[in-house]
Amino acid sequence: MAQIAVDFLLGPSWTSRGIARYGVQTGGWSHCANVLKDGRYLDARSDQLKRVDPHCEVPVIVPSGVHIRDPQSEKWVRKQRATLEVTDAEYADWEANLRAKITTAYGRWDIINILLGRPGHVAGQWICSAFFINGVQHVSRSWTRGHPGYVPYPLSVDAHEISPDMAHMIIEVAGFTFGPEEIA
């Protein structure tokens, strides 16, 4: 068996606090990151992150958008992991769907619109929570309602309007298992 895993995080910046405040306020999360089997994140971020490669003396810059990232480059003040047991084939399908979106642009306007409470989306761009929920919906295609982890498509809210708090609530209802909350 394998696990679909996601880390919910609250970042230390004022932007992170704003996202956490204007979600649905179910926990105050500002980011969610898919966790691959090897522990790396495959997520959508608005900022560039430095990654230190042990085989190279120069730090590697991971650009904004959808990319694989080292969790050590992530700054957070609170974190909680949620997991779902799946078959190896379901995990492979989930990961392949995520990997197919690597290099996709970040949906900056989606975040601004969440903060301002207005609709709007640029097609073909992702915010972290929409990217995560889309991945769960993708693997849910092979399940029926009532299957642990099932998230229907479409939801009553467009994916680009789902905040990290709302994503947390959606998968809690869907049957993911939540670990303890960590404080940095």
Structural domain harbouring 11: 2-182
Looking up tokens 């769960």 gives 136
- Residue 15 sits in a domain whose CATH number is 3.90.1720
pLDDT at 25: 61
Is the model more confident about 49 or about 174?
174
How many domains does the chain contain in total? Answer: 1
Q: What is the pTM of this model?
A: 0.92
pLDDT at 23: 63
Instruction: Express each pLDDT in 98-145 by its tens digit.
Output: 999 999 999 999 888 877 878 888 899 999 999 999 999 999 999 999
pLDDT at 61: 81
pLDDT at 52: 61
Statement: residue 78 has pLDDT above 70: yes
